[in-house]
């Protein structure tokens, strides 16, 4: 007989594995009320599809068999052996209760019917409870092949149905890759053929529905036809999706051999699966959801519990679970089951379970989840401070025996410090969410001190206090730590990770106890790949020197200041805001992303930048007549304009409403300054605009705000104005797969640091002993300062600047490294502890070496001549498919004062401008092309000429049409310009504005040359932006633009008089004029034309400055005759102007 490779073959294989070889029994096996599991299986019995009542959704034989074995007196009362009205009433009652409460609750709590209570399931027996074990053995777990479930479509049948005591628990659709069908075909069969209106497929009737082939498993908890969402239930392979090869059978055999054993399924029903009720925060509507664990959630919790039972308290665990792993549920399931972990003598392993999170939003999620799954909310206490102080609340929880206590990391250590000794000495399980930020040296010390056993009253106070502090630094032996994070740092790995055996070189690596990687989460579709559509944006700008001299500045600091100046300049911010808004409207909303519900986040470098962006967004959205609005998010109060602003004052609603408001129209943009970049889950976020430097964990956490899955979300988009592609890829590479620590920190480095610090002789051994004795003995503060001040005097008098830098750097390195190593080393060193006490007090008193800012004044010496940005090609970043090995924490400190590199201002500006290049090889040729070719052709367009006689809006519409036709003609003879116009949105917008400015007023189409007494484009919007600036020169610029609008001309005299009214000087007046020479001038140049004589002449900027600097009454008279002109060249400037 040949091998059965059909779908029926897989079905038979699964059933044989679960029930044993019942086909070989003699006499032949017939399912009945008295049948028992056969040997060789996992404890399941074979059911008969004929016994299934399609109306009541119950296997009558299995139900009757369970009641007969456990509650025989009810068999007759319920008439279970005969089809009578009494039995039909009971079945109707059972069907109704399952429909209302769900099968999980009915199994757990049973059913009241008339005068009787019917138990329908007996749970896992506690150790040593023989009667409970006997009852559990009476449960009937049955599997039925080809289950015909429909009353109408009688030929429709499921491949497998799983029952507990006759109640359906799970369904299976099986496929076989050898017949060219996969798990996706099984999912499609559920979508297409399994009508959710059938009683068996109603919500809560079954716990789970499985789609299975020989390679993959998927599951769904609620069938909704085409809307059914099947999630992977796979082990993972090579840190990714799928399952590893199985040397003993099918890749998916773990499902029926390990997960769905009677004990395993019972565990899921008792501790994981649940129907929960969620309330929509916006509408207040309540919705039920059925929860079933994913494989990695079930796996990690079971493995943690098994190890805790084995080793008791005192172990450390690191769980590296990616975003999208469902950490809050994993933490909730772990917390409520740790309560029940027992020691061999039957006592509880842990007196209290403490859940610590650094995310207040997740704090609320975990509270709700634990209370649901613990089922008895009385055992759970959340430290909220409501009605009493947080300290009193926590103390009350511990003393009243609350088993699970939930707190934020910010609250917990300080609270425990103030609590008495009554709780110390107990056993604790500490579950830490986002462990990388929860175990800083001082935080860890405070927590450990509070939970450590209390010492007896000492005779030698100082020495005993020293020993107590050293003991408190160590990870507690009376507490187990369960640390969860998606992005483990080197310190986190060394503290909580599993130490591997030393390698050939004696290096000890550390790795997580359990991992569910970013790679697997992306491949399984639980999160989206945020690097798949990553687009960097390059900035190009040109600076000009605005002073006569050529002073020297520190090159490094100057370049940093110049970059900050350019990127935060109102012009640059406005241009970037326009790009973001245009992109969102044209590439996100117009394309129907997330069915038109997409939102965007703007990540800024600080509060000032966020407020500037908010103002720019508000202005441009209104100018664009967009229906959407922006929300700004930052902490505290900030100076802006003429007053102080908060996010509430700008948004017009409380800060607490931001997460809800961004989900509602008209809000589509969330502009953030260090808020909502960690711990914020919003599936509607589709696009991120980044204008902030990001690296390492911060880059991963920030960009990962986009990765939350949504049924209608199929891609995401990142537009990055600040970061290099290579840096972002490098940051993600460390956490794409399992992260491993290369080696442990060498404690001998502390000996080296101490020796180096001692050698500077800033302190003496006697001073170290004296200050530690005073501090540990509780001496008054004024006893410590004289010793510290004496050390500071030595530091300042005897150490040169390089020595001061070296000593302070090494002192910081010593305290940082000691705080960390003291918690994990198996031994203590009193000398290190004493020196740590001295240095922790001394470091804040040590002034940093005075460092003259040799870049000071550079921003007053330059101005921005032009600014533009260019969107680069969309990149799909590929990450290395290997485990990331990271180095231990750096121990080295010290160094020397950096020597400034000085250079002339002109050289710095030249180098800075060269770095950012140009868009075209010959920019002058392109400028001439627009002035002398494109603009005249557009101006000559008849429709455009007629439209200019009507409204400006009509003229703009016809202008844009004419320009499009002219640009199309360029395709033959200037492909470079045409390509940029079509493919580069910012260049197209710039050209359109420029040509409109060249042609909309008194242009001369015959030559294309034009003289302007005012900047040509967007002057009104520019005026509004400048008027809101905190810089007085910008506000003066707004006044001058208003003058241009009314008088069509401007002179230096106008500028100087306006400056005086604003309390500004002549230099400020010139600076304001210079600042109007922006990209809006559309390739025209700014000239000063002196018309005081018989013949007009061009005046240089230096001459203007020199004349204005002379304190004479005639300077105003002369300045009034100098007109500010924008023109293509000097001849045009002299010929035009006031005319």
Give the model confidence (pLDDT) of 454-513 as tens digits.
Answer: 444 433 555 655 555 655 566 667 788 999 988 888 888 888 888 889 888 888 888 999
What are the start-end ranges of the H helices in 1000-1051?
A: 1019-1027, 1032-1047
DSSP designation for 438: T
Taking 50 as the threshold, does the pLDDT of residue 752 lie above it? Answer: yes
Tell me: pLDDT of 553 over 50.
Answer: no
Lowest mean pLDDT among 520-524, 633-637, 730-734: 730-734
Can you give the pLDDT at residue 383? 65
Tens digits of residue pLDDT in 1118-1134: 777 788 876 655 655 65
Distance CA 784, CA 775 (A): 8
* Residue percentage of the chain with pLDDT more than 90: 32
Where helices occur in 638-784 by DSSP H, the ranges are 647-651, 658-661, 696-703, 725-736, 748-759, 765-776
Q: In the predicted model, is pLDDT for residue 765 greater than 60?
A: yes
Q: Say whether pLDDT at 1090 is over 50.
A: yes
CB of 522 closer than 8 Å to CB of 529: yes
Distances (CA, A) of 376 to 78, 404, 747: 32, 11, 47
Helix 607-623 to helix 570-583 angle (10° resolution) is: 60
Q: Give the ranges where 829-904 is alpha helix by DSSP (H).
A: 830-842
- Residue 889 pLDDT exceeds 80: no
pLDDT tens digits for range 199-246: 999 999 999 999 999 999 999 999 999 989 999 999 999 989 999 999
Backbone angles phi, psi at 206, to 5 degrees: -110, 155
Regarding predicted confidence, which is higher, 106 or 1086? 106
The DSSP 8-state label assigned to residue 586 in this structure reads: I
Q: What pLDDT is stored for residue 892 in this prediction?
A: 57
* Tokens coding 1044: 């241009």
Residue 270: pLDDT band (50, 70, 90) is very high
Q: Identify the H or E element spanning 690.
A: strand 685-691
Tens of pLDDT, residues 826-872: 667 888 889 999 998 999 888 876 655 544 544 444 444 444 445 45
Answer whether residue 904 shows pLDDT above 80: no
543, pLDDT greater than 60: no
Q: Residue 1021: its pLDDT value, please? A: 65
pLDDT of 922-973, one tens digit each? Answer: 555 566 677 677 888 888 888 888 777 776 777 888 888 888 888 877 765 6
Distance between CA atoms of residues 863 and 1076, nearest Å = 10
> Among residues of the chain, what percentage have pLDDT more than 70?
72
CA 322 to CA 775: how far, in whole Å?
A: 44
Mean pLDDT throughout 561-568?
A: 55
- Token match 């039920």: residue? 288
More confident residue, 978 or 871: 978
Instruction: Return the H-helix or E-strand segment holding 942.
Output: helix 942-947
More confident: 246 or 995 = 246
Q: Which of 159-163, 371-375, 516-520 has the highest mean pLDDT?
A: 159-163
Q: What is the DSSP annotation of 901-926?
A: -EEEHHHHHHHHHHHT--SSS-HHHH
Q: Which helix (H) or strand (E) holds 600?
A: strand 599-604
Q: Read off the pTM.
A: 0.68
pLDDT band of residue 53 (cuts 50, 70, 90) is: very high
| Average pLDDT over every residue of 1017-1044 | 71
**pLDDT tops 90 at residue 68:** yes
Q: Which of 168-172, 227-231, 1026-1030 has the lowest mean pLDDT?
A: 1026-1030
């Amino acid at each position: 007989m040949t091998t059965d490779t059909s779908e029926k073959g897989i079905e038979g294989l699964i059933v044989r594995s679960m029930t044993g070889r019942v086909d070989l029994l003699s006499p032949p096996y017939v399912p009945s009320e008295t049948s028992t599991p056969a040997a060789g299986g996992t404890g399941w019995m074979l059911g008969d599809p004929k016994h299934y009542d399609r109306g009541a959704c119950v296997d009558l034989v299995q139900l009757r068999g369970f009641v007969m074995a456990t509650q025989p007196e009810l068999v007759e009362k319920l008439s279970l052996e005969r089809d009578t009205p009494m039995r039909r009433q009971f079945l109707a009652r059972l069907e109704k209760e399952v429909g209302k409460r769900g099968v999980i609750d009915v199994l757990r709590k049973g059913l009241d019917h008339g005068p009787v209570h019917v138990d329908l399931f007996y749970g896992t027996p506690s150790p040593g409870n023989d009667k409970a074990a006997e009852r559990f053995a009476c449960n009937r777990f049955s599997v039925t092949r080809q289950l015909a479930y429909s009353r109408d479509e009688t030929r429709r049948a499921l491949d497998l149905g799983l029952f507990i005591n006759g109640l359906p628990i799970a369904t299976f659709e099986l496929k076989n890759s050898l017949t060219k069908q996969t798990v996706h075909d099984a999912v499609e069969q559920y979508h297409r053929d399994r009508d959710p209106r059938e009683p068996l497929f109603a919500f809560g009737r079954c716990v789970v529905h499985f789609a299975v082939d020989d390679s993959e498993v998927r599951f769904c908890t609620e069938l909704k036809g085409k809307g059914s969402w099947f999630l992977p239930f796979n082990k993972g392979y090579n840190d990714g999706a799928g399952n590893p090869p199985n040397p003993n059978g099918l890749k998916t055999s773990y499902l029926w051999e390990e997960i769905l054993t009677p004990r395993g399924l019972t565990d899921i029903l008792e501790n994981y699966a649940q129907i929960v009720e969620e309330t929509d925060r916006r509408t207040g509507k309540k919705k039920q959801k059925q929860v079933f664990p994913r494989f990695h959630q079930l796996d990690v919790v079971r493995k943690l519990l098994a190890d805790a039972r084995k080793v008791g308290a005192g172990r450390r665990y690191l769980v590296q679970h990616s975003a999208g792993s469902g950490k809050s549920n994993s933490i909730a399931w772990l917390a409520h089951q740790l309560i029940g972990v027992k020691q061999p003598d039957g006592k509880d392993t842990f007196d209290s379970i403490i859940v610590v999170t650094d995310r207040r939003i997740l704090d609320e999620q975990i509270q709700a989840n634990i209370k649901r799954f613990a089922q008895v909310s009385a055992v759970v206490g959340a430290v909220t401070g409501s009605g009493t102080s947080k300290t009193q609340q926590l103390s009350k929880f511990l003393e009243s025996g609350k088993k699970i206590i939930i707190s934020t990391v910010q609250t917990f250590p300080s609270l425990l410090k103030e609590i008495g000794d009554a709780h110390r000495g107990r056993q604790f399980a500490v579950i830490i969410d986002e462990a990388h930020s929860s175990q800083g040296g001082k935080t860890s010390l405070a927590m450990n001190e509070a939970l450590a056993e209390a010492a007896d009253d000492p005779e030698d106070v100082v020495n005993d206090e020293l020993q107590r502090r050293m003991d408190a630094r160590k990870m507690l032996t009376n507490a187990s730590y369960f640390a969860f994070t998606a992005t483990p740092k080197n310190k986190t790995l060394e503290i909580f990770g599993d130490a591997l055996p030393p390698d050939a070189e004696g290096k000890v690596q550390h790795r997580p106890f359990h991992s569910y990687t970013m790679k697997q989460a992306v491949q399984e579709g639980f999160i989206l790949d945020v690097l798949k559509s990553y687009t960097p944006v390059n900035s190009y700008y040109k600076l000009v020197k605005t002073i006569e001299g050529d002073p020297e500045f520190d090159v490094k600091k100057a370049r940093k200041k110049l970059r900050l100046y350019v990127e935060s300049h109102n012009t640059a911010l406005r241009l970037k805001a326009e790009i973001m808004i245009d992109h969102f409207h044209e590439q996100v909303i117009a394309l129907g992303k997330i069915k038109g519900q997409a939102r965007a986040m703007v990540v800024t470098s600080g509060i000032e930048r966020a407020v500037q962006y908010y103002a720019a967004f508000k202005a441009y959205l209104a100018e664009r007549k967009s229906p959407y609005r922006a929300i700004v998010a930052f902490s505290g109060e900030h100076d802006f304009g003429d007053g102080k602003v908060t996010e509430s004052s700008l948004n017009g609603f409380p800060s607490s409403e931001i997460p809800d408001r961004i989900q509602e129209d008209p809000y589509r943009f969330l502009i953030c300054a260090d808020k909502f970049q960690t711990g914020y889950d919003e599936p509607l976020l589709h696009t991120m605009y980044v204008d902030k430097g990001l690296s390492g964990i911060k880059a991963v956490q920030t960009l990962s705000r986009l990765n939350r899955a949504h049924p209608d979300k199929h891609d995401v988009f990142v537009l990055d104005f600040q970061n290099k592609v290579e840096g972002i890829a490098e940051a993600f590479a460390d956490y794409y797969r399992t992260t491993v620590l290369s080696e442990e920190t060498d404690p001998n480095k502390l000996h080296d640091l101490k020796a180096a610090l001692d050698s500077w002789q800033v302190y003496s051994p006697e001073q170290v002993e004296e200050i530690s004795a005073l501090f540990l003995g509780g001496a008054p503060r004024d006893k410590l300062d004289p010793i510290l001040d004496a050390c500071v005097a030595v530091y300042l008098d005897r150490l040169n600047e390089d020595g001061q830098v070296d000593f302070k750097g090494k002192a910081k390195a010593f305290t940082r490294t000691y705080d960390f190593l003291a918690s994990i080393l198996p031994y203590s060193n009193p000398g290190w502890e004493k020196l740590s006490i001295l240095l922790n007090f001394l470091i804040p008193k040590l002034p940093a070496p005075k460092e003259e800012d040799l870049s000071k004044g550079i921003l007053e010496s330059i101005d921005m001549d032009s600014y533009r940005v260019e969107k680069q090609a969309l990149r799909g970043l590929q990450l290395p498919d290997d485990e990331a090995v990271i180095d231990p924490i750096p121990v080295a400190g010290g160094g020397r004062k950096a020597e400034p590199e000085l250079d002339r201002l002109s050289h710095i500006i030249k180098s800075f401008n060269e770095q950012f290049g140009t868009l075209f090889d010959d920019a002058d040729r392109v400028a001439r092309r627009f002035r002398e070719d494109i603009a005249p052709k557009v101006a000559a367009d008849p429709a455009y000429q007629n439209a200019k006689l009507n409204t400006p809006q009509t003229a703009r519409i016809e202008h844009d049409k004419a320009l499009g036709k002219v640009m199309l003609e360029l395709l033959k003879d200037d492909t470079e310009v045409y390509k940029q116009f079509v493919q580069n949105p910012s260049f197209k917008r710039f050209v359109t504005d420029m040509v409109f400015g060249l042609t909309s007023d008194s242009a001369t189409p015959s030559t294309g040359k034009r003289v302007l007494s005012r900047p040509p484009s967007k002057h009104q919007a520019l005026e509004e932006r400048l008027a809101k600036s905190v810089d007085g020169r910008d506000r003066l610029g707004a006044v001058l633009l208003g003058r241009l609008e009314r008088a069509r001309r401007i002179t230096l005299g106008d500028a100087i008089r306006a400056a005086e009214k604003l309390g500004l000087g002549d230099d400020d007046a010139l600076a304001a004029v210079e600042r109007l020479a922006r990209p809006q001038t559309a390739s025209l140049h700014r000239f000063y034309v002196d018309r005081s004589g018989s013949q007009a002449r061009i005046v240089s900027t230096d001459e203007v400055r020199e004349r204005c600097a002379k304190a004479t009454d005639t300077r105003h008279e002369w300045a009034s005759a100098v007109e500010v002109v924008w023109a293509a060249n000097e001849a045009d400037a002299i010929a035009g102007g006031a005319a």
